[in-house]
Structure 1
């Protein structure tokens, strides 16, 4: 067993946090002795309530958490009709560009646009996140994390009143300073290797910087961690544990469509890029024909959050649906958020098995490293 400030803080056996939008992954990691965190922004408030209820039924009182995206910079609209006012801000040239791109690759029309699609995009602002937080705090969560920007003061205060740990993901030293001043209990140093929204600093550079800054508050390393050796390296850098996201995309429980997972299994570590074309903020994902098109001359360029996800969410629904039917054009466009560790994927496994293997390999590596510093017989006699 590896005991750190994280295991003491969260009451878990292993200093492994498993972040994923799939409740099955969250439950699998938690039941294996780690700490599962659900990506709450992937759900409406009603869906989130159902997912958290299901997780609690599976984990039998073991701790778990939720993660939200609450950006500091975002487009705003009329609070009385937020969806319509935001959608009115999307330029016609952007709508035309997306439609032409789908037509170029022969992606068929989908079903009628679901109001839920816009509801999820609108949640990417403080008002939308507030509704999700209300749901989260009605459950037995042990941690709430914010992945974009400093958490609102009322979030930190509310969490602390409820005895819930507050964590925040940071990509630069200046971000960590603001987070610590806001009163967070835990920092996640997320390097550029990570999937999703990342900065440009590598994990091995960023982690010790944030550890030195954080004092007695635990720091987790994130980005480029998918093996026990990489976990051991994070602990050597001073981290109290690891926050893994991309790793679980190689699990059976993860809900990412199979055509995307097949592309992951065939990908190299160099096949990712940071692009704002899905969310409006730079996020690492698997490069595909989608990104090539947005980089061509004549592209209108991405919109700010949440306008960009409102623009492209229906397109991604059509791409996913067509790719699952084997559509060649949709498969060429198909992608998802993934870190550079994608190149190490060799197959799909249960999330609990991945967790236990990660920890076991880390323990073996730490033991091997410890042996490197053992005194020699001659030194011991001296």
Structure 2
């Protein structure tokens, strides 16, 4: 395929795969797309290990890294709080509420007390979703063969843009409104990801069918469609709306290579497109995820409002670790609470496949869809 995105990124198919799993990144890259490693939960050591591994797997094929530095976050005037700063700011009412959830659902304590302070984002150092945390991650990404760097929340900070430009790397950013895309272009971004509300993770309120053409019309740099895209027909629809390719995240979560928690993967395989919700319960910003008892608890009218980012993820991280450790027992409280970020495309993610198979099926269905449309114009 030849589009502005394939030319810019030097890839065969205009399919970019966002994943926290290095195996998915490598598999999609080798299949002709571009894998983009989500680095927010990586320690600097693990990020270096994973990028070395990816490069060994994909050779000279280009791949990307996704960082998360929101435009506004607690303590951003100083580059973000440390973990110790955040612990002091979390109200006791919120700690007590999380403890109450764990107690009512009979979620066991961790067997190793030393794990209790860890969770998804670690127990010390700079907080996630901050410039202080992203800077060493960016240093590692740029020291490798990373061809593309994306920022997933708000306009990329100037230090990120400047460093990428200096190193000759391409930079992209997600946008949920045309105004976001215009700001990204003005800041020097090379590629816009127009992400509709159907998407998993942090997302806005505008559906992709409306959003993609709005953003295409608002900027004059290549646009990728995102949100509710996991099949070739959806890819064809996004490109008919003016996108030069697609950005997919959720569809990889049930692939053979994905490291998705087994209990959550089973839920994804059984879910419908109506089984997701935009919730602030994990990160403090609206993010689409699977409905579960966890999201229900935070939606109750008598519960405290989620804290802002990055306080909320630190508040809930250790609790999520306890839930995940015990979630494999069917019918348990931990299993009921278990969830993860996923988009509305989950309704069609009902069969395990390899990541490479997903890529090829998308391309084949894209060809069938575009040929069928072309046939409608034949007299």
Q: Which residue pairs with 2:8 in the alignment?
A: 9
Q: Distance in 2 between matches of 1:119 and 1:188?
A: 32
- Match of 2:153, SS state, is coil
Question: How far apart, CA to CA, are the structure 1 residues paired with 2:80 and 2:172?
Answer: 32
2:233 equivalent among 229, 236, 250: 229
Match of 1:214 in 2: 219
C-alpha offsets along residues 314-352 of structure 1, whole Å, 9 cap, x if unaligned?
Answer: 010111110124461111101000000111112111111
Does the residue aligned with 2:108 lie in a helix, a strand or coil? Answer: coil
Q: How does 1:230-269 map to 2 (within 5 A)?
A: 230-269=234-273
Q: Larger Cα Rg: Structure 1 or Structure 2?
A: 1
- The answer to whether the 8 Å contact 1:76/1:86 transfers is no
SS of the aligned residue for 1:117 comes to coil
Q: Which residue of 2 aligns with 1:132?
A: 137
C-alpha distance in 2 between matches for 1:132 and 1:327: 39
- The CA deviation at 1:297 is 2.8
2:206 counterpart residue number: 201
Residue 316 (structure 2) pairs with residue 312 (structure 1): yes
Contact 2:194 2:223 in 1 (8 A): yes
CA separation of 1:136 and 1:283: change in aligned 2, threshold 3 A? same
1:10-46: per-residue Cα shift (whole Å, max 9, x none)?
A: 1000000010000000000000000000001120111
Which residue of structure 2 aligns with residue 33 of structure 1?
Answer: 32
CA change 1:194–1:80 in 2 (3 A) is: closer
Summarize the Cα distance change of 1:363–1:121 in structure 2 as closer, same or farther, 3 Å threshold: farther
| Alignment size in residue pairs | 373
User: Counterpart of 1:54 in 2: which secondary structure?
Assistant: helix
Asked whether the 8 Å contact 2:68–2:134 carries over to 1, the reply is yes
Aligned mates of 1:95, 1:229 — CA distance in 2:
45
1:228-253 Cα distance to aligned partner (Å, 9 max, x none): 10000011000000000001012011
Higher mean C-alpha displacement, 95-104 vs 326-335: 326-335
Give 3-state SS (helix, strand or coil) of 2:82's partner. helix
5+ residue gaps, structure 2, are none
User: Using the alignment, how far apart are the partners of 1:364 and 1:157 within structure 2?
Assistant: 42
Task: Give, in whole Å, the separation in 1 of the partners of 2:222 and 2:123.
Answer: 36
Which position in structure 1 is the counterpart of 2:297? 293
- Give the whole-Å Cα distance in 2 for the aligned partners of 1:79 and 1:195: 27
Mapped to 1, the partners of 2:337 and 2:161 lie a distance apart of 40
Change in Cα spacing, 1:278 to 1:305, as seen in structure 2 (3 Å) is same
- Offset at 1:73? 1.5
Shift of 1:313: 0.4
Contact 2:201 2:288 in 1 (8 A): yes
Q: Name the SS for the 2:66 alignment partner.
A: strand
| Alignment partner of 1:328 is 2:332 | yes
TM-score (norm 1): 0.95
Equivalent residue number for residue 92 of structure 1: 92
Q: Offset at 1:173?
A: 1.2
Relative to structure 1, the CA distance from residue 183 to residue 117 in structure 2 (aligned partners, 3 Å threshold; closer, same or farther) is: same
Q: Contact 1:42 / 1:120 at 8 angstroms: preserved in 2? A: no
State the TM-score, normalizing by the size of structure 2. Answer: 0.95
Q: CA deviation at 1:80?
A: 11
Deviations 1:129-171 (A, max 9, x none): 1111011111100100000011111211211121111000000
2:192 is aligned, of 187, 205, 221, to 187
Question: How many Å separate the matches in 1 of 2:366 and 2:80?
Answer: 52
More displaced stretch, 341-350 vs 32-41 = 341-350
RMSD over equivalenced CA pairs, Å: 1.6
Is the CA contact (8 Å cut-off) linking 2:44 and 2:137 kept in structure 1? yes
